[in-house]
Amino acid sequence: MKLYYTTNSPFARKVLMAAIERKLNGSIERIILSPWAEGNPVAEVNPAGKVPTLVTDDGLALYDSPVICEYLDSFGSQPRLFPPNGAMRWLALRQNALADAMLDAMIARRLESRRPDGERSKGWMERQLTSVNRCLGAMESEAEKLSGAVTIGQIAIFCALAHLDFRFADEPWKPQHPKLAKWFKDFSARDSAQSTIPHD
Ligand SMILES: N[C@@H](CCC(=O)N[C@@H](CS)C(=O)NCC(=O)O)C(=O)O
């Protein structure tokens, strides 16, 4: 399998952490690129031109991160990250969706903030910030549901919170979300987290 990714993408980090948790890391050839660079190869296999994208040994290109993670969950002998059915499955999928939504808002806000003077929309940036804050509030109110065996929901929420620290370090979220902060600290000690710390 080949994984196209960047070392600063929280969605790619989610895939890498899932691979490490499932002990599949050694089966993945890593191809680091910038999805923003002209002519980069990811657009040849993923029409959206985004990372992460995984090309399986059969030559099938898979995207986006939840699909890749579920693919990695479909083989190997380690405990599954996607609960097979019932309430635990829907909780894990919803946690993953909440984390991805928070990331989409964070990334939209940052991209907007980097547009040239005169092209930036303050209202749009505020809308994204409101969304991030609502997602954080929902995570805090359900922090006790982050306990138990590791799931894709936990990994996704970890990557989203870590991305806040990475890109918005001057906007601390921990003081107002103490239960989430405690869970985040504990989860940060996992090998999969320690070996995927983001960098530009
Ligand atoms: N929903 C996608 C989001 C992937 C995504 O937004 N990737 C960003 C990097 S963090 C990207 O490749 N952006 C390039 C672009 O938008 O052209 C997933 O879960 O994989």
Decide: 42 in ligand 1 pocket, CB within 6 A. Answer: no
- pLDDT of 4: 98
Domain contains 80: no
> CA-to-CA distance for 5 and 13, rounded, in angstroms?
9
Same domain, 125 and 60: no
Please say which residue of 14, 44, 72 terminates a domain: 72
> CA-to-CA distance for 74 and 65, rounded, in angstroms?
14
- HEC profile of 79-110: CCCCCCCHHHHHHHHHHHHHHHHHHHHHHHHH
Domain contains 81: no
Decide: 9 in ligand 1 pocket, CB within 6 A. Answer: yes
Same domain, 63 and 111: no
Pick the closest to residue 64 from 152, 171, 195, 174 (CA basis).
Answer: 152
Same domain, 92 and 65: no
Which range marks the domain in which residue 163 is found? Answer: 86-191
Decide: 51 in ligand 1 pocket, CB within 6 A. Answer: yes
> CA-to-CA distance for 141 and 152, rounded, in angstroms?
19
Give the CATH number, domain containing residue 169. Answer: 1.20.1050.10
DSSP state of 116: P
Query: Per-block average pLDDT, block size 10, for the chain (200 residues)?
Result: 98 98 96 94 96 98 98 93 97 98 98 96 97 98 97 98 98 98 98 98
Q: Name residue 16's amino acid.
A: L
Same domain, 66 and 91: no
Distance 42 CA to ligand 1 centre (A): 11
Distance 58 CA to ligand 1 centre (A): 23
Same domain, 133 and 43: no
Decide: 41 in ligand 1 pocket, CB within 6 A. Answer: no
Domain contains 199: no
β-pairing, 29-32 vs 53-55, is unpaired
Same domain, 120 and 172: yes
Domain contains 91: yes
- pLDDT of 77: 87
Same domain, 96 and 11: no
> CA-to-CA distance for 147 and 34, rounded, in angstroms?
35
Please say which residue of 44, 72, 100 terminates a domain: 72
Same domain, 90 and 170: yes
- pLDDT of 43: 94
> CA-to-CA distance for 53 and 45, rounded, in angstroms?
8
Give the CATH number, domain containing residue 58. Answer: 3.40.30.10
Number of domains the chain contains: 2
- pLDDT of 83: 97
Decide: 65 in ligand 1 pocket, CB within 6 A. Answer: yes
Please say which residue of 25, 46, 72 terminates a domain: 72
Reading across the β-sheet that carries 2-5, which strands appear in turn? 29-32, 2-5, 53-55, 61-62
DSSP state of 167: H
Same domain, 185 and 97: yes
